[in-house]
Structure 1
Amino acid sequence: MTTTTLPPSPRTRVRRVAELASYEQATLHAILDAAYLCHIAFHDEHGNHCIPTACWRIDGHLYIHGSNGSRMLKLLQDSDVCVTVTHLDGLVLARSAFNHTMNYRSAMVYGRFEKVSDIGQQHAAMDALMEKLVPGRLAHVRGGNAKEYAATTVLRIALDEYAVKQRKGGPIDDADDMAHAVWTGELPLTHGRGAAIADALNNCDMPAYAAAWGMESA
């Protein structure tokens, strides 16, 4: 597998602890694919905003969707924005209070969203969202109808300008602190899955993908 590394732009170049940065597409894709939510920062006449929304990746684009009446979706097509995704993996405990840190994976994407106007591409994108949420579910549910699709806007942003920053491993202590007797290490954080809970009005046997949900790691 060939990994493409794009050069950083002036606004994506990581300057603080630059050794934790990455500009590899494969690393970016892995972080985005593990996420169900992203945060989108933008500006309008009322000030600055940062709004969480569902997201999913198809090839070289990140997708979002919402109602045609969404103020945010309208604004995102008119100006550049910043999209972020963060996974917190653990707390890192060092000998010094100021050397405590966190293990994490994060991505920032810059650019402008564009509307997916082609009906076939819009349908395919929404199908991909359902498949990302729960693989296998799409074949069991009622698909969207013409009215629902007509009321929905699907946007995408190209993954052409981005930065990834991530950390893993234990603490990095100063030499002068090594004699201080205190426990050091990592307190891992995981995003677990609970057992599926049937709705009170459910009238079907639990499908395999729901039964397996609590047995798989997120």
Structure 2
Amino acid sequence: MTDQPRFNRARNPKRALYDEATVHAILDAGMVGHVGFVAEGRPMVMPMAYARGPGCLWLHGASKARIVKLAHGAPLSMTVTLLDGIVAARSGFHHSVNYRSAVVHGTGRAVTDPEDLETALQAITEHLLPGRYAEIRPMTAQERKATGVVALTIEAASAKVRGGPPVDDEGDHALGLWGGVVPVVTALGRGLPDAHTPETLPEPPSIARARARFAF
């Protein structure tokens, strides 16, 4: 922990993890990232679609969005949190949640190279629906112009994880009260076709692949 920059150190070291594999696993499992930045002298946080790239996170937004216009060279941070359960203890003080969270710190860079932009947009789309890019038409020039992508170059990252039952006071165990964990489950349902989808067209494979990520 001592080799971490101060802004990347967790207050509770017992739940802190700094290894790349743990951070990547949380980022890969998440669907929305909350990105923090400063604009007009104020801290702001925006939910954004994202994907993990080489040494960076690709963030998707409208080309005219505040964060896309201001992010180049700016310090950014992004948080992803996965809630796994409500920890019901025998006292209010010891109630908690089981979770996995990752915080990434870095610097923003506007993605303008056409090849990099295509790679990033495919990755962002397939982060949610693996294989979806091959199932849809290519973007038009106007759509590409309206789309902005920011690369958050990763400079430091940390994870925090809490799992297991409540940590009650020893004397509370004999109170005859219920204690334990209420699981929180993320799952994807069947795709609901719109009115323009042919009735005989089956659900595309990308939806089944995405659903498998949350199978339990």
* Alpha carbons 2:28, 2:52 under 8 Å: kept: yes
1:124-135 aligned at under 5 Å gives the runs 124-135=119-130
Cα deviation for residue 214 of structure 1 reads: 8.8
Q: Is the 8 A contact 1:84 1:106 kept in 2?
A: yes
- CA change 1:35–1:6 in 2 (3 A) is farther
Against the structure 1 CA distance between its residues 214 and 37, is the aligned structure 2 distance closer, same or farther, given a 3 Å change threshold? closer
Match of 2:176 in 1: 181
Whether the 8 Å contact between 1:122 and 1:154 is mirrored in structure 2 is yes
8 Å contact 2:71–2:110 — kept in the other structure? no
Equivalent positions of 1:56-135 (< 5 A) are 56-135=51-130
**Deviation at 1:46?**
5.6
* Distance in 2 of aligned mates of 1:35 and 1:141: 23
TM-score between the two structures when normalised by the length of structure 1: 0.89
Gap change, CA 1:170 and 1:207, over 3 Å in 2: same
Taking every aligned residue pair, what percent have the same amino acid on both sides? 35
Alignment partner of 2:197 out of 188, 196, 202: 202
Instruction: Give the deviation of 1:208 after TM superposition.
Output: 4.4
* Count of aligned residue pairs for this structure pair: 213
- Provide closer, same or farther for how the CA distance between residues 9 and 149 of structure 1 changes in structure 2, counting only shifts above 3 A: same
Amino acid at match of 2:9: R
Normalising by structure 2, report the TM-score: 0.89
Q: Partners of 2:207 and 2:40 in 1: how far apart?
A: 48
* Distance of aligned partners of 1:139 and 1:77 in 2 relative to their CA distance in 1, 3 Å threshold: same
Bigger mean CA offset, 195-204 vs 184-193: 195-204
CA shift for structure 1 position 158: 2.1
Which stretches in structure 2 are left out of the alignment for 5+ residues?
none
- Please list the CA deviations of residues 40-97 of structure 1 after superposition, one character each: whole Å capped at 9, or x if unmatched: 1222226222111111112321111222211121222243122111011000111222
What CA RMSD, in Å, does the superposition of the two structures yield over aligned residues? 2.1
Higher helix share: 2
| Paired residues of 2:129 and 2:207 also in contact (CA < 8 A) | no
For residue 155 of structure 2, give the secondary structure of its aligned residue in structure 1.
coil
Q: SS where residue 166 of structure 2 aligns?
A: coil
Q: What is the distance in 2 between the residues matched to 1:69 and 1:214?
A: 30
Residues 136/82 of structure 1: CA separation in 2 closer, same or farther (3 Å cut): closer
Select the residue among 7, 11, 19 that pairs with 1:11. 7
The residue number in structure 1 matching 2:144 is: 149
**C-alpha spacing 1:39/1:106, structure 2 compared with 1 (3 Å):** same
